[in-house]
Amino acid sequence: MGYISVAIDGPSGAGKSTVARAAAAQLGYVYVDTGAMYRAIGLAVCRKGISGDDTAGIVSVLPEVELAIRYEDGAQHILLCGEDVSEAIRTPEIAKYASKVSAVPEVRQFLLDTQRDMAKNGNILMDGRDIGTVILPDAPVKIFLTASAEARAQRRYLELCEKGQQVTLDEVLRDIRQRDHQDMTRAVAPLRQAEDAVLLDTSALTLEQSIQAVLRIIREKTEENR
Ligand code: DC
């Protein structure tokens, strides 16, 4: 029997990972957060003191990057050369590095097979930017989950404040716009909605409504494909 892959793509801060994680848990699917992989590479580059604009430098770090994904109580943990970096990758600085390294073709190639292989081993719900367009173009369910830049900035701002990080709403909005621009205009695998993806705008939805909407789309699509 074939496994079911659900591809969820969209810009940063649309609530993708929270919604995807909850939906996967309800369905009993493995949740794969591909952004964490780009962040881990960004962290490796940052720790080496290499600039995010130094493409050759970024590529030179790849042979030393050993990524592993582990699940503890259903939560994804990402290991960089054996070290659990799940927390360390969640800073605005590493988000910027992640965006930079994700524009480098060698980095995307480096992660492509790992991500495809994960879909061969079970039912998965994978979230990212190019899952429906590049990584799993044949996924039976594709969702493009988005929200206005303002709604996303507001949510991310509250999240960062809760973590005790010193930021202003303006800074967060500016970062989001800059990252949207970088993610959508890069030459390789830019962020875009796959033609066969269902568009879900969560600007006016609560978290619970977003989760229910995602579950409804998955149910409809998997029944259609049966
Ligand atoms: O979803 P996130 O914020 O954790 O992603 C971090 C960065 O990685 C973001 O700038 C976009 C990039 N990314 C990507 O290019 N392709 C993916 N499949 C996932 C993330």
Nearest to 124 by CA among 109, 111, 135: 135
Mean residue pLDDT of the chain comes to 93
User: What is the whole-number distance in angstroms between the Cα of residue 226 and the centre of ligand 1?
Assistant: 31
User: What is the whole-number distance in angstroms between the Cα of residue 52 and the centre of ligand 1?
Assistant: 14
Residues 6+ positions from 156 with CB-CB distance below 8 Å: 12, 13, 172, 176
Whole-structure pTM value: 0.90
> Cα–Cα distance between 221 and 191 in angstroms, integer?
22
pLDDT at 60 > cutoff 60 = yes
> Cα–Cα distance between 104 and 190 in angstroms, integer?
11
> Cα–Cα distance between 33 and 20 in angstroms, integer?
9
Q: pLDDT per residue over 124-148, tens digit each? A: 999 999 999 999 999 999 999 999 9
What confidence score (pLDDT) does residue 1 get?
56
Q: pLDDT per residue over 184-218, tens digit each? A: 898 888 899 999 999 999 999 999 999 999 999 99
pLDDT at 96 > cutoff 70 = yes
Question: Confidence class of residue 80 from pLDDT cuts 50, 70 and 90?
Answer: very high
Pocket residues for ligand 1 (CB within 6 Å)? 12, 34-35, 38-39, 95, 98-99, 102, 128-131, 179, 183
User: What is the whole-number distance in angstroms between the Cα of residue 27 and the centre of ligand 1?
Assistant: 24
Query: Which protein residue has the closest C-alpha to ligand 1 atom 4?
Result: 35
Query: Which protein residue has the closest C-alpha to ligand 1 atom 3?
Result: 12
User: What is the whole-number distance in angstroms between the Cα of residue 33 and the centre of ligand 1?
Assistant: 9
Query: Which protein residue has the closest C-alpha to ligand 1 atom 15?
Result: 102
CA angle 5, 21, 61 (to 5 degrees): 80
Query: Which protein residue has the closest C-alpha to ligand 1 atom 20?
Result: 35
Query: Which protein residue has the closest C-alpha to ligand 1 atom 11?
Result: 99
